[in-house]
Amino acid sequence: MDSRRLLIITTVCVALFATNPSTDDYVAWVKDTLSHSAPAGEQQLNKALLAIFGGPFVSASTQRINYLLFSIFVTQLDAQNRLTTLGLLRNFIPLSQAASFGPAAPGAHVISSGTEGRWIPDDGYIWVVNPPPPGDFRVRWEAGRLSSQHAHVVAAEAEGRWLPEDGYVWVVNPPPPGDFRVGWEAGRLSSQHSHVVAAEAEGRWRPQVGYSWVVNPPVPGDFRVRSIEP
């Protein structure tokens, strides 16, 4: 090998080594690419969220394989999606299909919202991190949460199970699958407030016999009662 060819190879290797992207370079590229891939109206919000959550999430979810002259970055977006990217000359080339930066496929109990490319937790669930950082589709069941699809129905303690809201009962008990109809039951003891029963008018409450309101008339949300002395 002549000296000229050796010099060229050495120069190229030195240039590659000097411009081998770091993890910080990669994180900055991911944040920039994700923020600009959204519709124009969402870019400012995405940038703000990425500034708060994006860096730590991407950095913690990324493994860098350093080959000295270039690097491979592998980011686990969620349980089903992994992003593999080649870093070379401080540029980044997506190697996996997930790296297209389209909407990542969500996990279980996540549904599409009315806005294209946006996702929301399924009924009864909430985000583990709210607002969620990009690619984080983790959700959890929240007992006591009002259903967004069925009036006067709340999430039970057991995941995936539902109960009538306080003061209501199932129209058909036990309800057949998919039947979430409920009705107000006057005289029913409250499951949340001691010595308080459902009044005749739907959504209204009265003290149990032998009790009266501490504050009468009660202010909204004040269900305190006291025993009436004989």
pLDDT at 217 over 60: yes
pLDDT of residue 35: 59
**For residue 101, is pLDDT > 60?**
no
Q: What is the DSSP track for 145-156? A: PBPSSSTTEEE-
Q: State mean pLDDT over 56-64.
A: 79
More confident of the two residues 203 and 34: 203
pLDDT at 131 over 80: yes
Tell me what the pLDDT averaged over the chain comes to: 83
Residue 4 pLDDT more than 90? no
Q: Report, as an integer, the average pLDDT of 24-51.
A: 61
- Residue 147: is its pLDDT beyond 90? yes
**CA atoms of 183 and 152, how far apart (whole Å):** 9
Q: Give the per-residue pLDDT at 36.
A: 60
- Band of residue 44 on the pLDDT scale cut at 50, 70, 90: very low
Residue 2 banded pLDDT, cuts 50, 70, 90: confident
Please give the average per-residue pLDDT across 213-219, as a whole number. Answer: 93
Q: Give mean pLDDT, residues 60-89.
A: 82
For residue 114, the model assigns a pLDDT of 80
Please, which contacts does 135-144 make with residues 24 or more away whose CB atoms are closer than 8 Å? Answer: 135/57, 135/61, 135/77, 135/78, 135/81, 135/104, 136/57, 136/78, 137/78, 137/104, 137/106, 137/107, 137/110, 138/78, 138/107, 139/107, 139/108, 139/109, 139/110
